[in-house]
Each structure stands twice: as structure tokens, then as C-alpha cells.
């Protein structure tokens, strides 16, 4: 089966500062891959490369087996959706207008949203529990509500691939779990391929099929959570002592920092 999205020996540098070096991994249809690692490891840069916002200095990003750069932007938007970290919206669009922007690649040129586009947008908003914000300007909602509106926009694109950069920023515990339940449903029912940058290692352990651990711009370890979330691997990558053990309530792993010995 061809991977929906693949990074093949991808490298990138800002000027002379190398950020990523020979990063390779693929995400298959119906798979949720989490990207984890310490601050400055290159996680956000990797998302931008996978989205085509940045061009790799070395290596290739492929979408559906073809180089990403060979697609027109409109065609990429039909297949790939991105929820960036701290996205800025300059004009005070309403929440519904923002979500409808996810339908743009599906409209005829200079076309207006049709009944189906409105239905898809509203269904995405209901799924993320922001339907009641439909007429609210985006700058009049909370940070967590804003995040769920932006994720609704991505869902409204009906993409094959979904890229998320810290999707649980600003969210409380209920909505952190709720968003990940939606992501798992997309993976299982639609076969969506999802790449999600996560700082919360416990969420990564609970919801991801595989993890990519970045450290110093390289892949330090990759595989199922049980193989990546080890005290040795995390201790080396994050340069701190951690505890990793079974979570009796969920059946997944739990990761906690260890207090320094006194």
C-alpha cells in the first residue's frame, strides 16, 4: 500500500543553522503518527515541510507517491489539511466563515459555497462542539474554542492527510480527549492519515499508532509507543530523568518526570 505521505531523507536549514537532518518516515492510510521530542528538535519545521510551506534543503516529501512539489497548490489542498500552531487570522471572520474556507479547494473558481459545503462545514463544527459559535467572530472566542474552530476547518476539507501542530494547545482535559477521539474516528472510519505533533507524551501513548521521536534534528527512535516511550530513549532525548510505567486505568503507558534526588 502506498503511503499517503512520506518524508525521504529530508533535511532543512535556516541559513547556516541545520534544523533537520536525514529525517525519513511515512504515514499510511488509517494511521495516526505522533511526532514528539524536546523544544527545538525540529517538530514544527517538519510539519511545514510536510505541508509544502517550506521546501526541503535535501531529500523529498511525497504525497500519494508523488513529489509534493509536483502538485498544484489547489490539488494539495484537496488532499492535505493543516492545523498550524498559533494560526493568525487578520480579519474578524465568523467561525462559520473560517470553517467554510476549508471548502475552497472543492469549489469552482470564483464559486460560492453550496448547500453541501454548508452541511459539511456545520457537521465538522458540531463534531468539535463549536456549532453554537457559528456567528461569533473568531477574535471573540476563547483560545480553546478558536483551536476547535480551526480543526473544524481542516475537517471540512475532507482530506486524505491531516497535519496537526500541537492540536491540544489551550484545551482543557475534556476537549483534549474529545479531539483525539475524533482523530481516532477519522483514522478508523475514513482511513485518514494523520501526523500530529504532541508535547503530552501520555496522550501520545494513548492515541497514536506509532511515534517518531526527534532529537537534535534527527529521528532518535521510531515505532509503536511501547518501543519509543522508554526511560532510556526519553531520558537521552529530553536530557532529563523520566519514569515510564503501565497505566492501570487505560492500559497504555504513563510518562512522568522524576524529581532530582536530594
Q: Does 201 reside within a domain?
A: yes
- State phi, psi for 49 to the nearest 5 degrees: -70, -45
Provide the pLDDT for residue 1.
Answer: 61
Residue-wise pLDDT tens digits, 112-162: 889 999 999 999 999 999 999 999 998 899 989 999 999 999 999 999 999
Domain hosting 219: range is: 5-90+159-257
Global model pTM greater than 0.85: yes
Percent of the chain scoring above 90 in pLDDT: 83
Question: Residue 139 and residue 88: Cα distance in Å, rounded?
Answer: 10
Q: How many domains does the chain have?
A: 1
With beta carbons less than 8 A apart as the criterion, state whether 115 and 78 touch: no
One-character DSSP codes across 97-130: HHHHGGGGGGSPTT----HHHHHHHHHHHHHTT-
Q: Does 105 reside within a domain?
A: no
User: Can you give the CATH number for the domain in which 72 is found?
Assistant: 3.40.50.300
Q: Does 104 reside within a domain?
A: no
Residue-wise pLDDT tens digits, 192-246: 999 999 999 999 999 999 999 999 999 999 999 999 999 999 999 999 999 999 9
193-197 vs 161-165, strand pairing mode: parallel
Amino acid at each position: 500500500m502506498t503511503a499517503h505521505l512520506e518524508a525521504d531523507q529530508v533535511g532543512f536549514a535556516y541559513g547556516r543553522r541545520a534544523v533537520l537532518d536525514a529525517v525519513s518516515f511515512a504515514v499510511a492510510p488509517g494511521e495516526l503518527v505522533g511526532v514528539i521530542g524536546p523544544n527545538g528538535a525540529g517538530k514544527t519545521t517538519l510539519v511545514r515541510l510536510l505541508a509544502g510551506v517550506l521546501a526541503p534543503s535535501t531529500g523529498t516529501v511525497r504525497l500519494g507517491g508523488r513529489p509534493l512539489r509536483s502538485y498544484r497548490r489547489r490539488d494539495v489542498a484537496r488532499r492535505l489539511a493543516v492545523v498550524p500552531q498559533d494560526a493568525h487570522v487578520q480579519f474578524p471572520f465568523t467561525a462559520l466563515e473560517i470553517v467554510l474556507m476549508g471548502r475552497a479547494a472543492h469549489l469552482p473558481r470564483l464559486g460560492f459555497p453550496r448547500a453541501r459545503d454548508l452541511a459539511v462545514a456545520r457537521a465538522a463544527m458540531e463534531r468539535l462542539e463549536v456549532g453554537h459559535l457559528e456567528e461569533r467572530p473568531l477574535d471573540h472566542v476563547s483560545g480553546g474554542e478558536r483551536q476547535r474552530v480551526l480543526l473544524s476547518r481542516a475537517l471540512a476539507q475532507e482530506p486524505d492527510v491531516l497535519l496537526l501542530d500541537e492540536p491540544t494547545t489551550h484545551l482543557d482535559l475534556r476537549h483534549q480527549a474529545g479531539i483525539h477521539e475524533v482523530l481516532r474516528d477519522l483514522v478508523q472510519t475514513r482511513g485518514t492519515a494523520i501526523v500530529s505533533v504532541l508535547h503530552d507524551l501520555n496522550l501520545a501513548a494513548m492515541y497514536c499508532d506509532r511515534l517518531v521521536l526527534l532529537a537534535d534534528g534527527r529521528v532518535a527512535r521510531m515505532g509503536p509507543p511501547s518501543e519509543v516511550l522508554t526511560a532510556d530513549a526519553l531520558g537521552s532525548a529530553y536530557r532529563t530523568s523520566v519514569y515510564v510505567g503501565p497505566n492501570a486505568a487505560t492500559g497504555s503507558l504513563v510518562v512522568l518526570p522524576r524529581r532530582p534526588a536530594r
